[in-house]
């Protein structure tokens, strides 16, 4: 393979759309005739890092290459894709390195032994010897059966996979899954059917066994979950971010499947129902009583056939720990982005499973399944007195000061007036700021203390058009289905969180009945940390092909005055 790769690097310079660099970055020229074909060829193994207007940057990472191996791609296919589309000779050292990195996946496998149960096997004995000498691995394995096989404690299946990834020898998990308690259900495709990409996502997940499906907000991840449940025909535990999300899942399952209300239980702060399909919130599962996670134990006691993790990129640490013990169950993770600000993507890879399907946002938009979006950053200038207050504030107070300046409120008011009659969300982090805006705009505010019943009432009024403006805190970042929301105005956020930026844009990406473009405004204060955080937050959306254009607050105020 290395010899073939070496020969490939001697090829003449061609007019390909890709530049492959020795630092493992790939530069794709977007306007090139072969750009789309190249993107499809490299998407299974290269991670998109940046996607501004003309040149998109991808990176080769061990996790990306192992994801590709888990999905059935080999090094030869990866090398062939690079050689086919590269404009210049591909660095030979890079080809050797990627082949060797991919070759590390699967030299260790987890299998079921007819007499010893769960075992770790190797096709390369020195690799097994090396890993068994690791302090991380030693406590997780039992007796040596032969030179190439060692017993694994079944309860340590997840912990062992985590440890092996950290050592750079990811194990292929072929130990299979228990069927769980059977529970028949079917999709009720009356007047609708799965979209082609949803079918591909379900098939990719099912053939792989467990793993993650990445789809844009508004692209129908819930239906992917429902279709996976129909394949499993088993009891299912669905983990979600909030009680409102739990009820949306329940309503969608009742509407789209043969499941009845009696078959679906809610396990939240309000209710504690365990039924064949149980929808539980991360919050209640991770709540402690006298230092113990009592609810985790209760849910672990049922013989689930499938576990669905909604917004899998948000998994809290205790859920990772629980998932390490649930490796014998099929696991499906659903998310719009695998970006984690804590860098724990490798835990998602090992404990939930590899990425089984990933559809670029713009591709789904081009197919007409999500709304096109116009992203605008409105830059506000502080008044002289505000600038002085900011300059003399303690470092940890500066973001709040900049975020909550009154100068933003006038801009928000004018933007709402500009889009009068359009369903508009004002989204922020600081409750006092949101309360002020709610009062100023005569709009209701949804925040942490708003009861679930009241949240649902307001969301229903917004969906029906009775309410056109809603002020929401970060409780509305995730899993809230507001199909007609057409305008979002972001006034503050969780510092530089890229995943939050993606989720907030996602609130307005459901396709509109009249086909109109969604508007996403981010109101930020120039020359402050607010501007620095905004640039970091916007990175993920730029990677997806959304370009922000910047306007001055005076443009908003002037255009409104003139109208």
What are residue 216's phi and psi, to 5 degrees? -60, 155
Residues 6+ apart with CB under 8 A from 213: 201, 204, 205, 221, 224, 332, 333, 334, 335, 356, 357, 358
Q: Are residues 512 and 387 in the same domain?
A: yes
CA atoms lying within 13 Å on the CB side of residue 320 = 15
Q: Are residues 337 and 479 in the same domain?
A: no
Domain coverage including residue 482? 371-562
Cα 119 → chain centroid? 32
Residues 6+ apart with CB under 8 A from 167: 130, 131, 134, 136, 137
Q: Which residues of the chain fall short of a pLDDT of 70? A: 1-13, 51-53, 298, 339-342, 476-483, 495-499, 543, 558-563
Q: Are residues 126 and 217 in the same domain?
A: no
- Vertex 280: Cα angle to 276 and 282 (nearest 5): 150
Is 188 inside any structural domain?
Answer: no
Q: Are residues 351 and 403 in the same domain?
A: no
Q: Which two tokens stand for residue 427?
A: 């989204």
Q: How far apart are CA 99 and CA 68, in angstroms?
A: 12
Is 183 inside any structural domain?
Answer: no
Q: Are residues 283 and 313 in the same domain?
A: yes
Q: Given 116, 140, 173, which residue is the final one in a domain? A: 173
Q: Which two tokens stand for residue 527?
A: 């020359």
pLDDT in tens, 459-500: 888 888 898 999 988 776 655 666 678 898 988 877 656 667
Q: Given 343, 365, 387, which residue is the final one in a domain? A: 365
Q: How far apart are CA 64 and CA 268, in angstroms?
A: 35
Segments of 413-533 assigned E as strands:
424-427, 445-446, 469-472, 487-490, 518-525
Q: Percent of the chain, pLDDT > 70?
A: 92
Burial class (CB in 10 A: 0-12, 13-18, 19+), 495: middle
Is 70 inside any structural domain?
Answer: yes
Is 30 inside any structural domain?
Answer: yes
Query: 466-478 burial, b if ≥16 CB within 10 A, otherwise e?
Result: ebbbbbbbbbbbb
Q: What is the DSSP string of 155-214?
A: GGHHHHHHHHHHTT-PPEE-S-----SB----B--SS----HHHHHHHHHHHHHSSEEEE
Q: Which two tokens stand for residue 356?
A: 């089984």
Q: Are residues 405 and 508 in the same domain?
A: yes
Q: What is the pTM of this model?
A: 0.81
Is 181 inside any structural domain?
Answer: no
Predicted pLDDT at 341: 62
Q: How far apart are CA 312 and CA 390, in angstroms?
A: 37
Q: Are 355 and 215 in contact (CB under 8 A)?
A: no
Q: Which two tokens stand for residue 174?
A: 């072929």
Query: 196-206 burial, b if ≥16 CB within 10 A, otherwise e?
Result: ebbebbbebbb
Predicted pLDDT at 112: 92
Q: Are 118 and 176 in contact (CB under 8 A)?
A: no
Spell out the SS3 assignment of 278-303: EEEEHHHHCCCECCECHHHHHHHCCC
Q: Are residues 520 and 449 in the same domain?
A: yes
Rg (CA), the chain: 25
Average pLDDT, the chain: 86
Taking CA atoms, 478 is separated from 109, 225, 487, in Å, by: 36, 16, 17
Q: Are 116 and 151 in contact (CB under 8 A)?
A: yes
The sign one gets for the Cα dihedral 246, 249, 254, 255 is positive
Q: How many CB atoms lie within 10 A of CB 33?
A: 10
Q: How far apart are CA 310 and CA 246, in angstroms?
A: 10
Q: How far apart are CA 77 and CA 62, in angstroms?
A: 16
Q: Which two tokens stand for residue 359?
A: 């559809």
pLDDT in tens, 514-563: 777 888 898 989 888 888 888 777 777 776 777 778 888 887 776 554 44
Is 285 inside any structural domain?
Answer: yes
Q: How far apart are CA 520 and CA 165, in angstroms?
A: 39
Predicted pLDDT at 6: 41
Is 91 inside any structural domain?
Answer: yes
Q: How far apart are CA 248 and CA 266, in angstroms?
A: 11
Q: Are residues 208 and 355 in the same domain?
A: yes
Q: Are residues 295 and 397 in the same domain?
A: no
Q: How far apart are CA 212 and CA 349, in angstroms?
A: 8
Q: Are residues 220 and 328 in the same domain?
A: yes
Cα 191 → chain centroid? 29
With CA atoms as reference, report the closest residue to 430 among 400, 407, 475. Answer: 400
Burial class (CB in 10 A: 0-12, 13-18, 19+), 72: exposed
Q: How far apart are CA 117 and CA 347, in angstroms?
A: 24
* CATH number, position 320: 3.40.50.300
Q: Are residues 504 and 379 in the same domain?
A: yes
Taking CA atoms, 108 is separated from 100, 169, 171, 344, 355, in Å, by: 15, 7, 5, 22, 19
Q: Which two tokens stand for residue 101?
A: 């990195």
Q: Are residues 275 and 389 in the same domain?
A: no
- Counting the structural domains of the chain, the total is 4
Q: How far apart are CA 439 and CA 220, in angstroms?
A: 34
Q: Given 304, 331, 365, which residue is the final one in a domain? A: 365
Predicted pLDDT at 483: 65
Q: Are 495 and 399 in contact (CB under 8 A)?
A: yes
Q: How far apart are CA 145 and CA 348, in angstroms?
A: 30
């Amino acid at each position: 393979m290395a010899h073939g790769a070496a020969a490939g690097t001697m090829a003449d310079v061609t007019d390909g759309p890709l530049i492959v660099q020795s630092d493992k970055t790939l530069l794709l020229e977007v306007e090139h005739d072969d750009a789309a074909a190249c993107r499809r060829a490299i998407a299974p193994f290269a991670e998109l890092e940046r996607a501004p207007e003309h040149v998109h940057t991808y990176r080769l990472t061990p996790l990306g290459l192992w994801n590709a191996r888990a999905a059935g791609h080999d090094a030869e296919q990866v090398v062939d894709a690079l050689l086919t589309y590269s404009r210049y000779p591909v660095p030979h050292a890079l080809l050797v390195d990627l082949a060797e990195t991919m070759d590390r996946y699967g030299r260790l496998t987890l299998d079921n032994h007819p007499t010893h149960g769960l075992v770790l096997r190797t096709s390369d004995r020195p690799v097994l010897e090396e890993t068994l000498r690791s302090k991380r691995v030693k406590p997780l394995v039992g007796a040596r059966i032969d030179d190439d096989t060692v017993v694994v404690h079944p309860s340590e299946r997840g912990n062992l996979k985590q440890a092996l990834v950290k050592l750079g020898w990811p194990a292929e998990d072929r130990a299979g899954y228990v069927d769980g308690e059977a529970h028949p259900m079917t999709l009720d495709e009356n007047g609708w059917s799965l979209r082609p990409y949803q079918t591909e996502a379900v098939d990719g997940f099912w053939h792989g066994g467990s793993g993650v499906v990445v789809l844009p907000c508004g692209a129908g991840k819930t239906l992917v979950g429902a279709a996976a449940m129909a394949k499993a025909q088993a009891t299912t535990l669905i983990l979600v971010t909030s009680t409102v999300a739990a009820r949306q899942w329940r309503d969608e399952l009742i509407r789209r499947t043969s499941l009845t209300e009696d078959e679906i239980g809610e396990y939240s702060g309000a209710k504690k129902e365990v039924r064949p399909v149980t929808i539980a919130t991360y919050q209640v599962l991770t709540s402690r009583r006298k230092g113990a996670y009592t609810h985790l134990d209760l849910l672990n006691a049922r013989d689930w056939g499938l576990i669905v993790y909604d917004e899998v990129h948000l998994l809290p640490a205790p859920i990772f720990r629980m998932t390490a013990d649930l490796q014998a169950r099929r696991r499906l993770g659903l998310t719009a982005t695998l970006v984690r600000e804590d860098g724990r993507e490798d835990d998602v890879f090992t404990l939930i499973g590899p990425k089984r399907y990933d559809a670029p946002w713009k591709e789904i938009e081009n197919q007409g399944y999500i709304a096109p979006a116009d992203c605008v950053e409105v830059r506000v200038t502080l008044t002289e007195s505000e600038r002085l207050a900011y300059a003399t504030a303690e470092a940890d107070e500066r973001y709040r000061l900049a975020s909550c300046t009154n100068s933003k409120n006038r801009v928000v008011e004018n933007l709402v007036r500009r889009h009068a009659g359009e369903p508009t969300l004002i989204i922020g982090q600081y409750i006092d700021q949101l309360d002020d805006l709610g009062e100023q705009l005569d709009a209701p505010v949804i925040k942490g203390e708003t009861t679930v019943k009241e949240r649902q009432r307001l969301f229903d009024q917004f969906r029906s058009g009775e309410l056109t403006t809603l002020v929401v805190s970060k409780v509305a970042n995730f899993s809230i289905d507001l199909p007609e929301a057409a305008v979002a105005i972001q006034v503050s956020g969780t510092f530089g969180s890229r995943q939050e930026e993606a989720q907030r844009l996602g609130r307005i990406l459901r396709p509109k009945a009249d086909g109109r473009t969604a508007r996403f405004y981010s109101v930020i204060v120039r020359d402050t940390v607010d501007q620095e955080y905004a640039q970091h937050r916007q990175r993920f959306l730029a990677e997806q092909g959304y370009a922000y254009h910047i306007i001055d607050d005076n443009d908003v105020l002037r255009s409104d005055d003139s109208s």
